[in-house]
Amino acid sequence: MKVLIVGGGGREHALAWKCAQSPRVSEVLVAPGNAGTDTESRVRNVDIAATDVPRLLELARREAVALTIIGPEAPLVAGIVDAFQGAGLRCFGPSRLAARLEASKAFSKDFLQRHGIPTAAYRSFTRENYDRAWLRAQRAPIVVKASGLAAGKGVIIAQSLSEAEAAAADMFSGRFGDAGAEIVIEQFLQGEEASFIVMADGEQVLPLATSQDHKRLQDGDAGPNTGGMGAYSPAPVVTSAIHARVMREIIAPTIRGLAHDGMPYTGFLYAGLMIGPDGTPTVLEFNCRFGDPETQPILARLRSDLTSLCEAALDASLDRVEAQWDQRAALGVVLAAAGYPDAVRSGDSIEGLESAARRPGKVFHAGTRRVAGRVVTSGGRVLCAVGLGDRVSDAQREAYALVDCIHYEGMQFRRDIGYQAIARELADDATPQGDATHHGDATHHGGHG
Ligand X SMILES: Nc1ncnc2c1ncn2[C@@H]1O[C@H](COP(=O)(O)OP(=O)(O)O)[C@@H](O)[C@H]1O
Residues that bind ligand X (CB under 6 A): 120, 143, 145, 152, 154-155, 157, 186, 188-189, 193, 215, 272, 284-285
By CB under 5 A, tell whether 446 contacts Mg ion: no
Question: How many residues sit close enough to Mg ion to count as binding (CB under 5 A)?
Answer: 1
- Give the residue with the Cβ less far from ligand X, 79 or 276: 276
Q: How far is the CB of 80 from ligand X (least distance, A)?
A: 20
The residues, any chain, with a CB within 8 Å of residue 436's CB and separated by 6 or more, are: none
Q: What DSSP string runs through 184-241?
A: EEEE---SEEEEEEEEEESSEEEEPPPBEE--EEEGGGEEEE-S-SEEEES-TTSBHH
Indicate which of Mg ion, ligand X, none lies near residue 309 (CB less than 5 to 8 Å, by partner kind): none
Q: How far is the CB of 387 from ligand X (least distance, A)?
A: 24
Q: How far is the CB of 164 from Mg ion (least distance, A)?
A: 19
Backbone angles phi, psi at 392, to 5 degrees: -60, -35
Binding mask 317-356 for Mg ion (x = CB under 5 A): ----------------------------------------
Please state whether the peptide bond connecting residue 360 to the residue before it is cis, i.e. omega within 30 degrees of 0: no
Q: Tell me, what DSSP letter sits at residue 71?
A: -
Q: Is the dihedral of CA 301, 98, 177, 132 positive or negative?
A: negative
Q: How far apart are CA 132 and CA 398, in angstroms?
A: 51
- Give the residue with the Cβ less far from ligand X, 212 or 266: 212
By CB under 5 A, tell whether 291 contacts Mg ion: no
Q: How far is the CB of 287 from ligand X (least distance, A)?
A: 7
Q: How far is the CB of 120 from ligand X (least distance, A)?
A: 4
Indicate which of Mg ion, ligand X, none lies near residue 375 (CB less than 5 to 8 Å, by partner kind): none
Residue 309 CA to its chain's centroid (Å): 18
- Residues 258-277 binding Mg ion (CB under 5 A) are 272
Q: Which residue is nearest to ligand X (CB)?
A: 285
Q: How far is the CB of 228 from ligand X (least distance, A)?
A: 9
Q: How far apart are CA 416 and CA 220, in angstroms?
A: 7
Indicate which of Mg ion, ligand X, none lies near residue 4 (CB less than 5 to 8 Å, by partner kind): none
Indicate which of ligand X, Mg ion, none lies near residue 188 (CB less than 5 to 8 Å, by partner kind): ligand X
Query: HEC string of 359-375?
Result: CCCEEEECCEEEECCEE
Cα→Cα distances 377→49, 193, 384, Å: 18, 30, 13
Indicate which of ligand X, Mg ion, none lies near residue 143 (CB less than 5 to 8 Å, by partner kind): ligand X
Contact yes or no for 363/268 (Cβ under 8 A): no
- Give the residue with the Cβ less far from ligand X, 187 or 239: 187
- Give the residue with the Cβ less far from Mg ion, 292 or 398: 292
- Give the residue with the Cβ less far from ligand X, 91 or 150: 150
Q: How far apart are CA 205 and CA 201, in angstroms?
A: 7
408, amino acid identity: Y
Q: How far apart are CA 399 and CA 101, in angstroms?
A: 33
Indicate which of ligand X, Mg ion, none lies near residue 71 (CB less than 5 to 8 Å, by partner kind): none
Q: How far is the CB of 161 from ligand X (least distance, A)?
A: 16
- Give the residue with the Cβ less far from ligand X, 182 or 186: 186
Indicate which of ligand X, Mg ion, none lies near residue 206 (CB less than 5 to 8 Å, by partner kind): none
- Give the residue with the Cβ less far from ligand X, 4 or 283: 283
Indicate which of ligand X, Mg ion, none lies near residue 400 (CB less than 5 to 8 Å, by partner kind): none
The residues, any chain, with a CB within 8 Å of residue 19's CB and separated by 6 or more, are: 3, 5, 25, 28, 69, 306, 307
Q: Tell me, what DSSP letter sits at residue 438?
A: B
Indicate which of Mg ion, ligand X, none lies near residue 201 (CB less than 5 to 8 Å, by partner kind): none
Q: How far apart are CA 205 and CA 268, in angstroms?
A: 10
Q: Which residue ranges make up the site for Mg ion (CB under 5 A)?
A: 272
